[in-house]
Each structure stands twice: as structure tokens, then as C-alpha cells.
Amino acid sequence: MPRPTRRQHLIEVAIDLFNQYGYHATGIDLILEKAKVSKRTLYVHFRSKDELILAALRHYDGLFRNHFMTQVEKTAKTPVERLLAVYQVAQEWFMQNNFYGCMFINAIGEYSATDSAIRQVCKEFKALIRDYIEGLCAELAAPDPAGLAEELGLLFEGAIVTAQVSQQKSRAAQTAKTAATALIDNALAERSDRT
């Protein structure tokens, strides 16, 4: 693997800093200092700070979803196991010492204007996560895969926020997993009721 381009390096450093300190609080100068890159170079690759934020969000989107799905599929085989593995992988994510909550949730807290591009990217990320869960629910042959996925998605988001706020990370993930088990069982019971 060749050493990353300056553009990519800037994005990676920016992701770390945005997560830790937030978007407005992280100045361009801090990013440049940590990345050991000149200001000139940053503005060659990105028109503005907002564009760097967008690039960081998009890059993290790909990185995160790829890692997450790979991890889920590696550790579990059946749809049910995979749905539960989601919360196991989430737990490992929470336990990282540079976990500062969800990058996209934090971003929307600072950029709530409905027409902002940043907001749009966050919305799309969450939709894709939900779609992934929905796919697993569909494999389950749950009667209402979209409905079950929405419920499991709420548990996922709730676990992220609770891990971030309460700092009881493994408890939040474990509780979500327990609740998910109950909701899945419930959905499958309805299926067998009908047949």
C-alpha cells in the first residue's frame, strides 16, 4: 500500500479532530498542524472548510459501513445471528478509546439547516445503515422487514447516544442486543401465528 496522498491524509486527520472537538471548534490551523501540511496545500485540495467537512463525512461513511458490514458478516452467518452481531460490532466500536459518538449525529447537531449538504450526507448515511438492517430482516422472512428494521435501527441509534453520554459503553450495547433479541423473536412469532 503506497503512502496516502496529502488529500487523504488531511481527511483522516480531520475526521479524528472533528470527532473529538466538533466541527466549529476545530480550526483549520489545528488540522494543518496535526497533519503537518501547509495551508496552501489544503486550499488546493478543498475549496473551503465546509468542503473538507463534506469530504471527511463521505470518506468516513465508506470506511465505516465497509468495516461494519465486513465485521458483521465475518462473525456471523445466519440472518438472525447477523442482526445480533450488529450490536456486538457496535460494542467494539464504542469501546475504542477515540469513540466520541456518531460523527453524523454530531454533525447534524451543528448543521441543522434543512438544505445544508452536510445534513443531507448524514441523512443518507443513516438511511444506508437502515437499509442494511432491512436487508437482513428480509432474509429472515419477517412479516414486515421494514418495520422491524426501523425498530432495530432505533435501538442502534439509542445505543450509540447512550454509550456516548453515559459512558457505560458495553452496557448500552448489551441492552440493545437483548432488546433486539426480543423484538426479533416477537416478529418471527407473528409470522408463525399467521401460517
Partner DNA sequence: GACAAGGTAAACTAATCTGTTTACCATCGC
Partner DNA sequence: GCGATGGTAAACAGATTAGTTTACCTTGTC
Q: Is 123 in the site for a second copy (CB under 8 A)?
A: yes
DSSP helix/strand/coil, 38: coil
- Figure out which of the listed residues 1, 36, 182, 192 binds DNA, where binding follows CB under 7 A: 36
169 contacts 163 by C-beta, under 8 angstroms: yes
Report, in Å, the least distance between residue 137 CB and a second copy.
13
Q: Which is nearer to a second copy, 4 or 27 (CB)?
A: 27
E runs forming strands in the chain: none
Report the C-alpha gap between 123 and 57 in whole angstroms. 11
Q: Which is nearer to a second copy, 81 or 190 (CB)?
A: 190
Q: Which is nearer to DNA, 17 or 90 (CB)?
A: 17
DSSP helix/strand/coil, 127: helix
38 contacts 32 by C-beta, under 8 angstroms: yes
Q: Which is nearer to DNA, 7 or 171 (CB)?
A: 7
Q: Is 183 in the site for a second copy (CB under 8 A)?
A: yes
Report, in Å, the least distance between residue 2 CB and a second copy.
33
106 binds, among a second copy, DNA, none (CB under 5 to 8 A by kind): a second copy
- Interacting residues of 57 by C-beta distance below 8 A, sequence separation 6+: 103, 104, 107, 118, 121, 122, 125
Which residue's entry shows cell 464504542? Answer: 94
Report, in Å, the least distance between residue 53 CB and DNA.
9
Which residues between 38 and 67 bind a second copy (CB under 8 A)? none
Q: Which is nearer to DNA, 49 or 59 (CB)?
A: 49
Q: Sort residue 3 into left (φ over 0), alpha (ψ -120 to 50) or beta.
A: beta
29 binds, among DNA, a second copy, none (CB under 5 to 8 A by kind): DNA
Torsion sign over Cα 105, 88, 76, 1: positive
Residues in contact with a second copy by CB under 8 A are 20-22, 24-25, 100-101, 104-106, 108-112, 114, 122-123, 126-127, 147, 150-151, 153-162, 164-167, 171-172, 175-176, 178-179, 182-183, 185-186
